[in-house]
Every structure is written in structure tokens, then in C-alpha cells.
Amino acid sequence: MDAQVVLITGSSRGFGAAAARLIASRGHTVVATMRNPGRDSAAVTVGFEDRIHAARLDVTVPAEIEAVVAATLSTHGRIDVLINNAGYGLYGPAELGTEEQLWRQLDTNVFGAWRMMKAVLPDMRHRGRGKIVNVTSLSGRIVAPMLAHYAATKFALEALSEGLRFEVGALGVQVCSVEPGMYASDWQTSSLEVVDGVAGGPYDALVGERIDGFQRLAGTRPGSASVAAALADIVDLAQPLPMRWPVGYEATRDIGIRASRSDEEWDSLRRSGALGPWRRPLHPDPPAPAEHDWSTGNVVLITGASRGFGAEAARELARRGNTVVATMRSPERDAAAVVAGFEDLIHPVRLDVTVPAEVTAVVASTIDRHGRIDALINNAGYGLWGPIEALSEEELRRQFDTNFLGQWRMVHAVAPHLRAQRWGKIVNVSSLSGRMPSPMLAPYAASKHAVEALTEGLREELVAWGVSATALEPGMYASDWQTAGLDVCEEIRTGRSPYTAATRRALDGFRRLAATRPGSDAVAAAIADIVQLHQPPPLRWPVGEDCVRMLRDRARHTDDDWERLMRSQGWGLAAGDVDNNRTKEVAGSAASA
């Protein structure tokens, strides 16, 4: 194979450093980026000074990304392969941590990879060739206790990768997720960051015990050679890249088992010990929840209750005799229609879930007024439409701030109260997109994939206090955000993107289809059913024939078969769908201006 120009992030040590050296040994040119080349580059480049070029890069700084990509293109003429490896792990209970810790984890593991993809895609598209390799993790497919924050970022990156694959695969750009299992990598042994709020709290002893066992086990695992070999093989491979590339014993074993089993079957396997001690439940024999009559009279806090699923659920819960605190950003505009006929049971409250102080105040006032919260329904969210390359920093951040961080903020505020009373239910409204990414909705899917990981972690960790967590997964309904309220990224709205014409056609078809779907009644009924169910609710609750059918079909297909099937049905872009000249025209206009 001809020598390739390979750009790798996070190359100071671990997978990135080993891959840089192995790829260079095969005759390729490597731009090995790292945050501190003055300290780390010598060990990486030694013996390959003519092929490995160290560069300073922090993937959380957009200007540094632009500079590194521009310098690489100027010096080497092209970028053939991008390997998004930069990342780190955050350890601890899903309900704990700080805003800063969660944003920093997202900023590196998800947004950093997205920034790199966005920066290299124009050159790859113009050349009609290129490879984008996102190093995700076994945790991008399977959630382990105390690793839900990290898993949420890797679930999200899996969704971005799959969405991008459908968007650019026919344009000559290949996208692949590499999924390492447990290795004796730096972050798994010595650099694992623990979330704030553990010390002196209810999880303190448990976290100490688990992290000690986790790091001891990681220390017995192989080094980075297998992952480096997989990345080097991807660079060399002449055949089309697969959608996913698991690496290591746990990844190749557990991912296949998990994908082919129901949640209940997976739980049973874990409890049996068949998957080893690392996969055993966090709480093998949790105590029963405290006595609570779920049949009626529950105090339910719902976010995003101004319209759609939230409004209908509030009314259905009230119809069944429950007290509902229905939060919305503009109660003066929206509350009257929601509470009409249930003025004694539905209490509208102003709340923007992206404002931490408002979240804290609403939870405190609900408990002060009603004495408790029995169920939290995390429903606030919206959809962002547009190809990955056309998104802006602000748009992607806002999507995660509402759909993922908004749910986490509510859990962070409510979970301590639920634990104290030793009963409670958390229902996180996810989506079919939380399990199945689609092109043009990849940012939304990524945020919902993160919600799925968060929910699974919460369920495992909170069961010891009688609290359940369920991800509600609606399919396509004629809800507000899927029709009139769908947010379209600015580059598409203004026609500045080379993807504009194809994206607008796809958007028209999406909206027409959404308008033919049922309304929100079934989703509202499912939410009310979960609240009133006396049996422990399941981890996931799909709603709608399309959701149930497509999830069943997805489980029956390999990645390759699924991709062929969906492309045959019109998913993804075709070779002629992108106007590469538009990018040049816009750039020229900007230069002349």
C-alpha cells in the first residue's frame, strides 16, 4: 500500500503512542498530536524522527485543531487517515459529579472527536477518499457500574460515527469505530479521575472497593500492542472498513453477547458469573424498596411539559389521580392548555433544565409543597437536524446541554431525596434514536445514546435504595419537535453547506412522514403506566410499532447487513448529493470580503 499521512490525537502515551510508532514502522507518515510535546514527544518519535512529527494539540481548543489540520495539509498535502484517540475516563456514581467534570469529559471524548472530523472532512470529500477512525470503547456498547459518565461519552461517539458513516460513506470517506476492551492503559490504571461528591457520602466505601478492584484488574491486562495493531491494520487495509472493530478478549466476547441478548437475559448472565467477576452486578442482592402504593396519588415531577409527550403525560397522570408538577420554560404562554380541567392536580412551574439554579429551586419547592417526589420524568429535549460536518460548536453544545446534561441535572437534584425515602422511579425519555442512529439526526442520536448509558448506570447503582431507572424509547410520533419544532442547523438554513440540497430533501421527507404518525397518547400512557406499575419497571420501554420492529430487526442483522439494508431504503447520502463547489465558493466569498 502507498505511504499514508495519518493524523492521530492523544499520542503522548497508551494507544496513541503505540499506534504512532507501529504505523510509522510500516512506512507511513504520522502527525502525532499531544498536549505537551515538550515533555512527551521524544519517547514517541525516537527511532522514527523522519516519519513521526509531534504537534501540540488540545482537542478542546478549536483554534488549535484548525491550526494543526491546516499545517498538516500545508506540509504533507493531504490527510489520508484521522485517528481520534484523545480521551479519558471519569469514575463514580452516575448521579454524582460536577457540571465542570461532565462538560470536560464531553468536551474531550465527544466534542473533541467531532471537531477533528469537521476539520478534516472538507479535504477528504474533495479528494473523494479518506478514513476516519474513532477510538470508542467496550464502554461505548456496554455500561459498567461507576463508569456511566465515561460510557455516556463513548455511546455518544458511537452514534456520531454511525451517523457520519451513512452521511459520507458514498462520498469516498470511510468511518469506523475501534472498540478496545480492558487494557493496561494509562487512564485505566493510574489516571482515572473520580467524580466529586463521593467522599463521606453513601457511595464512599463502595467506590473505594470497586475502583481498587478495577485498577488491579486493569493492571493485569495486556498493554497497548493489540489496539495499536488494529489501528495500523486499518490504515493499511485496502478493503472497505467495517462499521465497528472490537479489540481484545472482553470486547470481542461481551459486545456480541450483549447485542444478541435482551436486558433481562444479559442481567441473568451477569448474575450467574458466566461473564466473570468484573461483570457481576454492583448490588447482587438489593433490599426490597420501602412500601409505597403506586396505584394513585403519586407526586410526579415532569420536565418539558408545555406540549407533546410531556403535556399529554401530565394530563394522563392527573386523569389517573396523581399530583403533577409540570415544568416548562414559558408557563405564562403554555400552562393554561396543559392544566385545563385538572387545576387541582397539575401545578405548572417555570424551569429551564439548562440552568442549574432553576433545577435546584424547582426540586426544593416541590418537596417543600408536596412533601416528597415519587417519580421524575425527564422529558425535556429537542431534535437537531443536519449533517455532522455542518454543525456549529454552539448547536452541538446546546443539544447535549438540554437532552443529556438537563436530565443529569434533574437526577443529581432528585436522586438524594429518592434514596432517603427508599423508593422512587426515574424515567428518562430517550428515543429510538438512542439505540439506532440515523443520518442527519446524528447529534440528536448521540445525546440520546448518552441518556441510555446514564440510565443504565443509574439503574444499577440506585437499586440498593429501592429506586429504579427506565429509558423510555418512543419511535416516530407527530410530536412538536419532529414536525414544527425541529431545529435545523444554521448552515443548512442559510444554504451555506455543501450538503444543503440533499439535507433539505431529507428534511422534507422526514417531516412529511412524521405528520402521518400517531399523536402523543401512546407515549403519555406508557409514562403513566411506568409510574403506576407495582412491579419493578424494565430498564428499557420501547413505544410504537416502528420502534419495536426496528429494534428487533437491528438485533437480527450484522452491521454490514444492516448498512446494506438501510442504504437500499434510502438512508444516507449518495455520491452526487454533496456540492463540493459550494465550499469553494463560500470560502472565496469570505476571502474577498
- The residues annotated as belonging to the active site are 444
CA distance 151 to 575: 34
CB-based burial label for 548 (10 Å; 0-12, 13-18, 19+): middle
CA distance 375 to 385: 31
CA-based nearest residue to 122, from 443, 567, 579 = 579
Name beta bridge partners: 84.
134
CA distance 170 to 358: 45
The DSSP 8-state label assigned to residue 405 in this structure reads I
The DSSP 8-state label assigned to residue 465 in this structure reads G
CB-based burial label for 127 (10 Å; 0-12, 13-18, 19+): middle
The DSSP 8-state label assigned to residue 485 in this structure reads S
What value, to the nearest 5°, has the Cα angle with vertex 437 and ends 434 and 440?
Answer: 120
For the beta carbon of residue 406, count every other beta carbon within 10 angstroms.
25
CA-based nearest residue to 94, from 339, 457, 344, 396 = 457
Tell me the H-state helices in 169-289. 186-189, 204-219, 225-236, 249-259, 263-272
CA distance 486 to 138: 32
CA distance 390 to 444: 14
CA distance 320 to 531: 11
CA distance 94 to 431: 20
Helix axes 225-236, 14-25, angle to 10 degrees: 50
